[in-house]
Structure 1
Amino acid sequence: MSHVPLGLLQQFVRVARIGNLSRAAAQANLTVSALSHQIRQLEDRLERRLFERGPRGVALTVEGCALLDAIGDHFDGIDRALAALRTRRHDAITLSASPGIMSSWLVPRLPRMVAAHPELELNLQSSSTLVNFEREPVDIGLRYGRGQWEGVHAERMFGEWIAPVAAPELVARMDGADPRDLSNWPLLGEPPPSTRWNDWFDRHGGTRPKRYVAQFDSLDALRHAALEGLGVALGRMVTSKSLIDAGRLQVLGDDYMPVEEAYWLVYPPRSLEHRGVQALREWLLAEADDYCRQLPQLRRDAMSAG
């Protein structure tokens, strides 16, 4: 068997994964005829039939499946290596963060970032899913957790604390009920496996309710339910501050509870060589330090707003 050109194998992987010659040809910027010719050329060189052609597309033969299993991951590795080696602009940065910390903490500070680094072009991605730095073109991120992520540099920015929060409409409906005793208030259950309400009652005493007025599987839905006055939520003070300041939520009682999770700045090893990312990193950590110095007053403000 003569040497097989890498380009033929690349087109084979493309067609095998798409399963349709027309779509594969469009992705490769080829005509269907040209791509079909390349696949037949590969089959001739290997002296093996790799695809069964049908009216709805193409399907791998047993030998085609074996070839894809053998070389598919290698082409993925080549793509990742080439992506890492491509020339990258040092003034363009992609940052990923969850919607809560993005809107409540980062966005209000962006005017200062633009003033400090007008040369940087920042692309923001808001997502609750952890970014995969190996597969996605993201340079740096903000994460909430305990800092235990493999394959990234993680630097702690600041901690979080929680307190019961409710819409003013709910507080009015409760008609003077003691906000320090939540036993008779409608409570909103957090997404499992959270046990924060149990921790809250362990710390503050009182009788746990037999059931929540509603149980949620996402923090976004939980926050909206609290804003609509359905019940009391355990609000994260960092991400709830803007809602409290706007009068849309009130803190109940006069205490807060620190949690083990914190907000972290994370980035892959490749970002160590990116001048723009390092400039943004230094700015974010300086903002976090300034925020931490303000925390005692922010906590007092949050409690007085209730």
Structure 2
Amino acid sequence: MKLPPLKTLPVFEAVARTLSFSAAAEELHVTQSAVSHRIRQLEDDLGESLFDRHGRRVALTEEGERYLEAIAPALAQIERASQQLRGQSDTRLRLAVPSSLAVRWLIPRLPHLQRRHPDLDLTLEMLADMPVMSERLADAFITIRYRQRGYVSTPLYVERLFAVCSRQYWMQMRESLEDAGLREKGSGRSIRPEWLSRFTLLSAASVFEKPGEDWRRWFQAAETEMPPTARVQQFSHMLLAQEAARHHQGIALSNDYMLDTASDPELVRLRTHEFRTGDEFHFACKQSRAKEPGILHLSRWLERQAEASGWR
């Protein structure tokens, strides 16, 4: 077995993660010159340059990126196996979560997790998109792209969209519909989809990555077409469209984790149909790590929270 000098590998991982020789030296409690020596030793052994150095700036080369991707999980696994033999339980976890789900649903529930599992040291990594899962990014993920070799997943939520607006806007809608003879005064009946096209529709391009597509599919789910005369105001993200609805600017499409009418009385969920987007959110982790205590605690807690939210 031809291995590189093993003492160089933790140093390489620290520099690659921090992109700083001085930060790696401080973390490893050695001098910066010792770090530089170990990196040169590893590069000489491999016959490849692992870092581009420009003054104090450090960046991984393409070879360095590939090498880090290959060895980082192995180093982490060696560390965890050693801790288990020492009788230690490492419950530090990085959980990668879509930003809107984290802000609207997960973060308000974290105090309960901390009370339930005080030894669990959880760090949230916010995701703007859904990348390929890797231990370089996080130890576990809440993701819609959960089918990946070597990973296992647990379903949490099937996304559905429904119409919301502010209470003030709803009162204006109700008066307008009554004046047009479409709705009797004081009626609690459901709202017909075509009636909504009389008002401003707030569209979030992030849902289907196409302006107006969320509302087009909402009408399509009701077996009708969105009128070409519909007034559609565009936003890049559902969070922005929902905030515009909160400020009486029109009707937005929201989902179960973005809106909790019990804690958000300013917004009203309209009595009309909902539709499923096709996205399913799963908790996912490496199959080899699924039975680790910290990951098990987090997975089971998330399942219970999803059940309490009425998702499962």
Q: CA deviation at 1:127?
A: 1.8
Alignment equivalent of 1:198, drawn from 216, 235, 239:
216
Q: What is the rounded CA distance, in whole Å, between the counterparts of 1:159 and 1:250 in structure 2? A: 21
Aligned residue in 2 for 1:227: 246
Q: In structure 2, do the counterparts of structure 1 residues 37 and 155 end up closer, same or farther at CA, with 3 Å as the change threshold?
A: closer
Contact kept in structure 2, 1:164 and 1:232, CA below 8 Å: yes
Aligned residue in 2 for 1:84: 77
The one-letter code matched in structure 1 to 2:275 is M
Contact kept in structure 1, 2:165 and 2:246, CA below 8 Å: yes
Contact kept in structure 2, 1:161 and 1:238, CA below 8 Å: no
The answer as to 2:237 corresponding to 1:218 is: yes
Aligned residue in 2 for 1:255: 273
> Which stretches in structure 1 are left out of the alignment for 5+ residues?
60-64, 296-306
Q: What is the rounded CA distance, in whole Å, between the counterparts of 1:230 and 1:7 in structure 2? A: 61
Q: CA deviation at 1:101?
A: 3.0
Q: CA deviation at 1:240?
A: 0.9
Q: In structure 2, do the counterparts of structure 1 residues 108 and 5 end up closer, same or farther at CA, with 3 Å as the change threshold?
A: closer
The answer as to 2:176 corresponding to 1:157 is: no
Aligned residue in 1 for 2:200: 186
What is the SS of the residue equivalent to 1:255?
Answer: coil
Aligned residue in 2 for 1:283: 301
Q: Where do 1:47-66 residues align within 5 Å?
A: 57=55
**Greater gyration radius:** 1
The one-letter code matched in structure 2 to 1:184 is R
Aligned residue in 2 for 1:142: 142
Q: What is the rounded CA distance, in whole Å, between the counterparts of 1:291 and 1:173 in structure 2? A: 31
Q: CA deviation at 1:171?
A: 2.7
The one-letter code matched in structure 1 to 2:100 is G
The one-letter code matched in structure 2 to 1:228 is H
The one-letter code matched in structure 2 to 1:123 is L
> Which stretches in structure 2 are left out of the alignment for 5+ residues?
84-88, 178-190
Q: What is the rounded CA distance, in whole Å, between the counterparts of 1:149 and 1:9 in structure 2? A: 27
Structure 1 or 2: more helix by fraction:
1
TM-score by length of 1: 0.66
Contact kept in structure 1, 2:15 and 2:23, CA below 8 Å: no
What is the SS of the residue equivalent to 1:229?
Answer: coil
What is the SS of the residue equivalent to 1:215?
Answer: strand
Contact kept in structure 1, 2:13 and 2:72, CA below 8 Å: no
Q: Where do 1:98-109 residues align within 5 Å?
A: 98-109=98-109
Q: Percent identity?
A: 22
Q: In structure 2, do the counterparts of structure 1 residues 73 and 219 end up closer, same or farther at CA, with 3 Å as the change threshold?
A: same
Aligned residue in 2 for 1:269: 287
Q: CA deviation at 1:154?
A: 1.7
Aligned residue in 2 for 1:93: 93
